[in-house]
Structure 1
Amino acid sequence: MTELGSTENNALARNAAEMSVQLTEQEKEICDLLDKVVEYIQKEDPSKPKLVLRIAGGWVRDKLLGHESHDIDIAIDHMSGYDLAQHVNQYLESHNYPVCSIAKISQNPERSKHLETATTTVLGLAVDFVNLRSETYNSDSRIPQIEFGSPLEDALRRDITINALFYNIHTRKVEDFTQQGVSDLVAGIVRTPLEPFKTFTDDPLRVLRVLRFSSRFAYAIDPQTAVAMQRPEIKHDLDSKISRERIGVEIDKMASGPHPLLAIQRIVGYNLYENVFRAPPAKDWPSNSGAMADQSIAIDLTRNVLDLCESAADSTQSLKSLVSFLPSPFAVTGSHVRRTLILAAYIFPYYTATAYDRKRVVPASYVVVRDGIKLATHDAEDVVALHVSATKVSAAAQKCLDNSIDRRTLGLQIREIGARWAMCVVFSAAVDMLLNKCSLEQATHKYRTYIKRVIDEDLVEAYKYKHIIDGKSAAKLLGLKPGPAIRQVLDRVMEWQLCNPNGTVQECELYIAKTISQDYK
């Protein structure tokens, strides 16, 4: 367990000892309302057992940690979530409260929706309603047979103990049916509620959830849980039972989380890299494809990316900050850009390899992102762009340092990279530190020199530059019919523009008439 801030640590110890949750006024109002709804339902049909409602899972964990949470899941002991949501709306309407529509989320086991869930807004806060459940698995699938269950059965079927806590709305007490959740939260331990091998055999996706939550909170993984994660049978099941979309969701959350370095360290350290970032089949690798590099470079490169990005927020590292030197429209401190840089670092072991994609040969990293972890096509394109441009930007940055590059060459490179160029600068610096063993200070100096040159030459948005003469005008000057050949003419026009930033239309027309026309006589 990493060091928690003293205030948070003291609050956690106090809350755990008292089993208490501090409700906001809005949360208290919702709990009071749901308590009254239960009484309202009981009066309607006294012959039925009285409902017990609990807030389940992550909300309880986060509240005990002293964090605010807006992810309220109401677990119901013997009624469907949709039925209860309807009762809640009836009560709200009868007491002149605003009522929102109910969204019924149907079962979709492939996306981990094992039961019908109802979602609505209660007193201004989104709330999900679902009944307590038990799960029974067969050996061929991670999709369980679902039945109504007890609180203990529901707690035991969850992924880890710290996610298996309940908050009883009626008693206003935390309930720890595994008898380990609160103590694990205090000790900073991630473990499965049941014997870990059985837990992972039932649903191998829980391996990735162990990795995600342990890295998110920087908690230790229970030794028995760690051993079970690495068993060959579990690795096989990760490939055969889990959809790649679900793996991608977990990886996306790790890359976007507070400790992406710890996440990749554990994926590599537990020998799960190839199971997670699945490569194309051997038959899809061309004979001249590069080999997959050592997985450890994913760790080192992730560390470098974070060093370069996070130093911008640390005043003590201001002299090393590369990110803060980028022009403001291209700031790469946002969560989306940071996530993309981390994903590219995670996939970097594939950076020299190629694979067949239908009849094309493409970078293997493209196929890994698109098919191996099933992220969006634009994610695959971003990762490939970062990988491909890294050495090119490095070479250009070195020439800027040596003052041996002209405006035309620099501008053409930025046009080739496009709007990603600022992100590529940071990634290239991280790769430079990895492959060429330069220090953080050296990399920062080298790439700040590159950025300054781009700014001084007014090339920050070179990829947006429009041709001073359009294709139709160029074709007329050369006596050509518009067509593919004009594309090459326009490329030369852009090169002229980059060499002559203050050039006029008339001067460009003269260049076309005197120089380019010679190639078309």
Structure 2
Amino acid sequence: MKRHYRQPQRHCCQEGRHCYRPYWHCRQEGRHFRPHHRHCRRGGRHCHPSLQPVAPAATDAREGRHTLTSLLHHLQVPAVSYIIRDSLKLKASDADTIVNIHVASEKFAELVLLESNENLETVKEKLDDEYLEIPTDSVKRVLAGLILRELKGFWRVALFISALINPEVGNASGSLSKQGELNQRKEKYLSVERSITDLDLDGVWNLKPLLDGKAIMGVLEVKSGGPLIGKWQQRLVKWQLAHPKGTMEECKEWMKQSQQQSKRQKVECSS
């Protein structure tokens, strides 16, 4: 006998009967649940996504960073971001700022070592590419400028954290007392801060590029933008940091010469 059902109901192939649309069949437990509930493999039952457990904090001993792994979305979220957004219910921009400060504090460790020219060549290799070779005496300015452009007015906070927690900044030999090590970290913080001020980098985040995207496309003689223009914009910022007194014409000339030189090298390699 044919029967009629209300519109919200539909036939469920799993159970051979009709059910309301807001419910769906769970193969794990063999019964129906609302769509916004999910099967929790750890608890063996259904629960609301907000109640599902998350993995314990995973600690990277080398970098001192903590992550929380969400079983629902399979994403890794920094613990500090999770606490600020979900626990304290503060702005997402505040969480992003704190995460950027922690990340930049590790980069400042390289800048501290540059004060004694310990890793100059290593940092120079990271900053150089096939189109741009940064002068050796400008490596410190370029690295510091890139870090400050990310942090803006919070760069002193990141430098302070870096001077306190990074082992590379402190007592490498282990021969100093706690007070002596603290004084050494303080001196390195003041040295880097003084160096950034002397390089006229305080406020470098307000530096405007000499060429915009359309101007770069004109120099490169391309009709459409894309990742290529984005890479050249990043190189342009590095070039301006390495040449603080450079003009727009000098920048265009550098771009043309770099592009021609790269083409010649590719032709030589292919031949």
**SS in structure 1 at match of 2:76:** strand
Residue of 54, 59, 64 corresponding to 1:282: 54
Give the conservation status (yes or no) of the 8 Å contact 1:475–1:481: yes
Give the conservation status (yes or no) of the 8 Å contact 1:433–1:440: no
Question: Whole-Å Cα distance in 1 between the matches of residues 254 and 203 of structure 2?
Answer: 24
Question: Whole-Å Cα distance in 2 between the matches of residues 508 and 375 of structure 1?
Answer: 43
Equivalent residue number for residue 379 of structure 1 = 94
Give the conservation status (yes or no) of the 8 Å contact 1:407–1:457: yes
Equivalent residue number for residue 66 of structure 2 = 352
Give the conservation status (yes or no) of the 8 Å contact 1:497–1:503: yes
Question: Whole-Å Cα distance in 2 between the matches of residues 454 and 387 of structure 1?
Answer: 19
Please identify, of 397-406 and 500-509, the stretch whose mean Cα deviation from structure 2 is larger: 397-406
Question: Whole-Å Cα distance in 1 between the matches of residues 202 and 73 of structure 2?
Answer: 37
Q: TM-score, normalised by structure 1?
A: 0.32
Give the conservation status (yes or no) of the 8 Å contact 1:400–1:450: yes
Equivalent residue number for residue 144 of structure 2 = 410
Name which structure has the greater RCO, CA cutoff 8 Å, separation 6+: 2
Give the conservation status (yes or no) of the 8 Å contact 1:489–1:516: no
Q: What is the one-letter code of the residue matched to 2:59?
A: A
Q: What is the one-letter code of the residue matched to 1:505?
A: M
Equivalent residue number for residue 429 of structure 1 = 163
Alignment of 1:329-340 (within 5 A): none
Equivalent residue number for residue 41 of structure 2 = none
Equivalent residue number for residue 502 of structure 1 = 245
Equivalent residue number for residue 465 of structure 1 = 207
Matched, 1:441 2:186: no
**SS in structure 2 at match of 1:291:** strand
Give the conservation status (yes or no) of the 8 Å contact 2:142–2:238: yes
Equivalent residue number for residue 3 of structure 2 = none
* Superposed displacement of residue 519, structure 1: 5.3
* Superposed displacement of residue 446, structure 1: 0.5
Question: Whole-Å Cα distance in 1 between the matches of residues 84 and 224 of structure 2?
Answer: 39
Equivalent residue number for residue 400 of structure 1 = 115
Please identify, of 502-511 and 394-403, the stretch whose mean Cα deviation from structure 2 is larger: 394-403
* Superposed displacement of residue 420, structure 1: 2.0
* Superposed displacement of residue 450, structure 1: 0.8
Question: Structure 1 vs Structure 2: percent identity of aligned residues?
Answer: 26
* Superposed displacement of residue 392, structure 1: 1.5
Question: Whole-Å Cα distance in 2 between the matches of residues 492 and 507 of structure 1?
Answer: 14
Q: TM-score, normalised by structure 2?
A: 0.58
**SS in structure 2 at match of 1:353:** strand
Which runs of no fewer than 5 residues in structure 2 stay unpaired? 1-51, 121-138, 172-177, 265-271
* Superposed displacement of residue 408, structure 1: 1.7
* Superposed displacement of residue 354, structure 1: 4.5
Question: Whole-Å Cα distance in 1 between the matches of residues 224 and 200 of structure 2?
Answer: 31
Question: Whole-Å Cα distance in 2 between the matches of residues 436 and 358 of structure 1?
Answer: 39
1:391-429 Cα distance to aligned partner (Å, 9 max, x none): 211221121244845322222222233332122112222
* Superposed displacement of residue 500, structure 1: 1.1
* Superposed displacement of residue 473, structure 1: 0.7
* Superposed displacement of residue 373, structure 1: 2.8
Which runs of no fewer than 5 residues in structure 1 stay unpaired? 1-279, 294-347
1:331-383 Cα distance to aligned partner (Å, 9 max, x none): xxxxxxxxxxxxxxxxx9x7333534945433222112211332222332232
Question: Whole-Å Cα distance in 2 between the matches of residues 395 and 435 of structure 1?
Answer: 9
Do the aligned partners of residues 472 and 518 (structure 1) sit closer, same or farther apart at CA in structure 2, a change above 3 Å counting?
Answer: farther
Q: What's the Cα RMSD here?
A: 3.2
1:166-210 Cα distance to aligned partner (Å, 9 max, x none): xxxxxxxxxxxxxxxxxxxxxxxxxxxxxxxxxxxxxxxxxxxxx
Q: How many residues align?
A: 183
Equivalent residue number for residue 479 of structure 1 = 221
Give the conservation status (yes or no) of the 8 Å contact 2:213–2:229: yes
Do the aligned partners of residues 436 and 292 (structure 1) sit closer, same or farther apart at CA in structure 2, a change above 3 Å counting?
Answer: same
Q: What is the one-letter code of the residue matched to 1:379?
A: D
